[in-house]
């Protein structure tokens, strides 16, 4: 987290002829007073306030003799509407609820026995105490916004990557310069400055362009972290850690199937397990290329839909769980020692009973045949 930083002001001169320019600064949204340095407006005084936007525009007039105090807050598309206040005693001008469009040159003209002038340059600070984070796909272009819609005379902007200056704008000197050979040429032929807004575009992004960027200007300081994300990344893989199958008669301790979803060589991604549309668990990778694994336990006969999702801010890959393949039920249930012994004894008893029955059956048939033979022999002797 970065703390607010205000830039130092410099002395300006020569904008309205040879008269010095007094720098004044204010934070966006606050009020600021442009001091006339008068303790009292005289009876014959005529005071005029002007704002320079391409040309001098009258925004307020005091005519003491006519007892007139007038503000023209509808000029310049109403940028000063309901924001101008005149001090009837001193002639000072207050601008309330300042915005960036109020930044620029102001001129005070006092008509007495001889005319006098006082010039101001108002800087409206937009102060940020946080770091914005942006994501861009490798190979694409990204525009880093300057926060301005139009550059004005006196504006300057510096763009830096880390602590290295990569672009400078000086509107007064009509200078727009990129330093794309720094850092071993990683930005070579990739930097473009917008001459209207001061925004910086980086083309054909690579992973070496990932990092902190800083915009420093005469009105603001902004920090940005740029994430560079691979266009394609792997589909997550689901595997089973369970070494045996299960059936409905399994004990409760072995009725769960252990699964793991994994992805290798990934960065700036999140790996998640979903049950239907509900998130069950997740794990994230930082800017380093690492492997991720996320475990899950489900019942063998669970009928719900599960999926593992690998996603980054711009894309995602999904793998659905086939529970019948990774967590199958057993065709034959393997029993415990006691149950096996009982089954063995029962099988033996059945076998013995079968043998006894067969022996009895054979003997009974043999006895019947012998009896029939004896009966037949007796009949022949008679």
Helix (H, G, I), strand (E, B) or coil at 152: coil
CA torsion sign for 57, 60, 65, 66 is: positive
Spatial distance between the Cα atoms of 162 and 193, rounded to a whole number of angstroms: 18
Of the pLDDT bands very low, low, confident and very high (cuts 50, 70, 90), residue 355 is confident
Taking the model in full, what pTM does it have? 0.43
Residue 129 confidence (pLDDT) above 70 = no
Residues with Cβ within 8 Å of residue 243, at least 6 apart in sequence: none
**What is the number of other CB atoms lying within 10 angstroms of the CB of residue 11?**
9
CATH class of the domain whose range is 138-229: mainly beta
**What is the number of other CB atoms lying within 10 angstroms of the CB of residue 361?**
10
Spatial distance between the Cα atoms of 238 and 111, rounded to a whole number of angstroms: 84
Residues of the chain with CATH 2.60.40.10: 12-125, 138-229, 237-326
CATH dotted code for 237-326 = 2.60.40.10
Higher pLDDT, 225 or 376: 225
Cβ(263)–Cβ(237) below 8 Å: yes
CA distances from 221 to 277, 302, 307, 324 (A): 42, 55, 44, 57
Beta bridge partners of 232: none
> What pLDDT, on a 0 to 100 scale, did the predictor assign at position 7?
37
Please write the tens of the pLDDT for every residue from 253-275.
Answer: 457 888 999 888 777 788 999 99
| Residue 276, both tokens | 């239907």
Angle at 97 between CA 95 and CA 101, to 5 degrees: 80
Average pLDDT over residues 224-242: 80
> What pLDDT, on a 0 to 100 scale, did the predictor assign at position 302?
82
Higher pLDDT, 153 or 351: 153
Residue 249 confidence (pLDDT) above 90 = no
CATH dotted code for 12-125 = 2.60.40.10
Please write the tens of the pLDDT for every residue from 135-163.
Answer: 888 888 999 988 888 898 888 899 999 88
Please write the tens of the pLDDT for every residue from 278-294.
Answer: 999 998 876 666 788 89
Of the pLDDT bands very low, low, confident and very high (cuts 50, 70, 90), residue 60 is very high
Spatial distance between the Cα atoms of 341 and 331, rounded to a whole number of angstroms: 21
């Amino acid at each position: 987290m970065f703390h607010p930083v205000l830039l130092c002001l410099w002395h300006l001169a020569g904008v309205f002829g040879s008269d010095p320019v007094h720098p004044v600064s204010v934070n966006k949204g606050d009020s600021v007073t442009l001091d006339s340095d008068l303790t009292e407006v005289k009876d014959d005084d005529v005071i005029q306030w002007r704002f320079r936007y391409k040309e001098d525009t009258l925004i307020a007039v005091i005519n003491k003799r006519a007892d007139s105090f007038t503000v023209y807050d509808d000029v310049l598309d109403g940028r000063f509407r309901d924001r101008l206040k005149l001090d009837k005693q001193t002639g000072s001008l207050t601008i309330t609820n300042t915005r960036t469009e109020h930044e620029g040159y102001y001129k005070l003209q006092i008509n007495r026995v001889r005319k006098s002038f006082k010039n101001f340059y108002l800087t409206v600070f937009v102060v940020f105490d946080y770091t914005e984070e942006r994501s861009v796909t490798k190979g694409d272009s990204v525009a880093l916004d300057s926060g301005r819609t139009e550059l004005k005379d006196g504006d300057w902007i510096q763009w830096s990557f880390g602590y290295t200056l990569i672009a400078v704008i000086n509107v007064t000197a009509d200078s727009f310069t990129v330093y794309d050979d720094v850092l071993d040429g990683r930005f070579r032929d990739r930097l473009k400055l917008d001459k209207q807004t001061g925004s910086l575009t980086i083309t054909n992004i690579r992973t070496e362009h990932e990092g902190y960027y800083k915009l420093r200007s005469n009105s603001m300081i902004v920090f940005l972290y740029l994430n560079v994300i691979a266009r394609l990344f792997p589909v997550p893989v689901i595997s089973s850690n369970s070494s045996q199958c299960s059936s409905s008669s399994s004990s409760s301790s072995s009725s769960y199937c252990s699964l793991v979803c994994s992805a290798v060589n990934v960065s700036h991604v999140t790996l998640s397990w979903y049950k239907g549309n509900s998130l069950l668990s997740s794990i994230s990778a930082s800017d380093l290329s690492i492997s991720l694994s996320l475990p899950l336990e489900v019942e063998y006969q669970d009928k719900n839909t599960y999926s593992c999702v690998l996603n980054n801010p711009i894309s995602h890959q999904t793998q659905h769980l086939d529970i019948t393949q990774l967590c199958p039920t057993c065709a034959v249930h393997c029993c415990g020692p006691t149950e096996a012994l009982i089954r063995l004894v029962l099988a033996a008893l059945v076998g013995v009973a079968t043998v006894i029955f067969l022996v009895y059956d054979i003997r009974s048939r043999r006895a019947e045949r012998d009896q029939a033979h004896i009966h037949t022999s007796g009949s022949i002797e008679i």
